[in-house]
Amino acid sequence: MKAYAKANIFLKLIGFDKRSYHLLKSRFILIEDLFDELLIINQKTQEGFELISDFVCENNIIKKAYNLLCDYGYKNELEEFFKNQSLKLIKNIPTCAGLGGGSSDAASFLLMMNEKLNLKIPKEKLINLSLQLGSDIAFFLSGCKSANVSGCGEIIEEFHDDIPNLKFTFPEIHCHTKEVYGQFDKTSFNFSKNFKEANNYEKLSTKELLENFDNLKLNDLFTPCVILYPKMEEYLINGFFLSGSGSSVFKVEK
């Protein structure tokens, strides 16, 4: 199963929720030519659920998704399924790059298990369940190729979009989301202004947004990203747009 990357066309921060998590408004689009792959293979080196990959992550979100389904009542089915099989992850989406790779992997695993084990969990229930793992997973479960996203990332409204050809660049810079958001909190910002701008952006196509607004205007995290990672200034100056908290950037392909 393919786990596609996503990009943020705009990202405006508009406040905080009761947990002090940032509230946002954003346009997410699916990047269909960049994806991780999840495969079921007949290979075992240990008992129980086994994730085989060249990508090493101690707190891999796929394992958290597995445990979530177990806790939800499907432990017996999952243990039986993975008794003689393993999950292989082929990692192609760059990490710490603002592309939602981990969230997409988790969403694809949930969809894969729902199908292969015939769990018959409705999409809305699967989305609500996934919020325990992370807000961005909802977009990947929604099936949308373009959507206006709000809340902390869990409110998805499909958008019938006009998306130009985009050329992506993946700097070898690991931008840590938590740190970039923390740096944003140290800068001057106006949530009320951001909210009004975001309401306007939500009505426009991706093509219109990229043609009519500059990179700093569309993404509130570009400035804090550059402050933390000065090498990113090169992309800011040269008119690239930032996805998420970085470091992936893109331009409209001429």
In the chain, where does the domain assigned CATH 3.30.70.890 lie? 166-252
Q: Which two tokens stand for residue 127?
A: 């989305």
54 catalytically annotated? no
Angstrom distance (rounded) from CA 65 to CA 70: 9
- The pLDDT score that the predictor gives to residue 28 is 98
Angstrom distance (rounded) from CA 73 to CA 58: 25
pLDDT digits (tens, 9 = 90+) for 110-123: 999 999 999 999 99
Domain covering 166-252 in this structure, CATH number: 3.30.70.890
- The pLDDT score that the predictor gives to residue 254 is 78
Identified catalytic residue from 36, 136, 161, 220: 136
Mean pLDDT, rounded, of the chain: 96
H helix intervals, the chain: 61-69, 75-81, 101-116, 123-130, 137-142, 177-186, 191-201, 206-212, 215-218, 222-228, 233-237
pLDDT digits (tens, 9 = 90+) for 136-154: 999 999 999 999 999 999 9
Domain covering 2-158 in this structure, CATH number: 3.30.230.10
The predicted model gives 3-16 an average pLDDT of 98
Note whether 99 and 168 are within 8 A (CB): no
Please give the single-letter amino acid code of residue 204: L
In the chain, where does the domain assigned CATH 3.30.230.10 lie? 2-158
- The pLDDT score that the predictor gives to residue 188 is 87
- The pLDDT score that the predictor gives to residue 59 is 73
Q: Is 40's pLDDT higher than 90?
A: yes
Please give the single-letter amino acid code of residue 139: F
Rg (CA), the chain: 19
Identified catalytic residue from 6, 12, 25, 251: 6
Q: 110 or 58: whose pLDDT is higher?
A: 110
- The pLDDT score that the predictor gives to residue 219 is 98
145 catalytically annotated? no
Q: Which two tokens stand for residue 191?
A: 């949530």
- The pLDDT score that the predictor gives to residue 55 is 84
Instruction: Read off the pTM.
Output: 0.95
- The pLDDT score that the predictor gives to residue 58 is 65
- The pLDDT score that the predictor gives to residue 201 is 98
Instruction: Concatenate the DSSP letters of all residues of 94-111 into one string.
Output: PSSSSS-HHHHHHHHHHH
Note whether 200 and 169 are within 8 A (CB): no
Question: Comparing C-alpha atoms, which of 53, 18, 27 is closest to residue 200?
Answer: 27
The predicted model gives 58-67 an average pLDDT of 90
Q: What percent of the chain shows pLDDT beyond 70?
A: 99
pLDDT digits (tens, 9 = 90+) for 187-212: 888 999 999 999 999 999 999 999 99
pLDDT digits (tens, 9 = 90+) for 223-238: 999 999 999 999 999 9
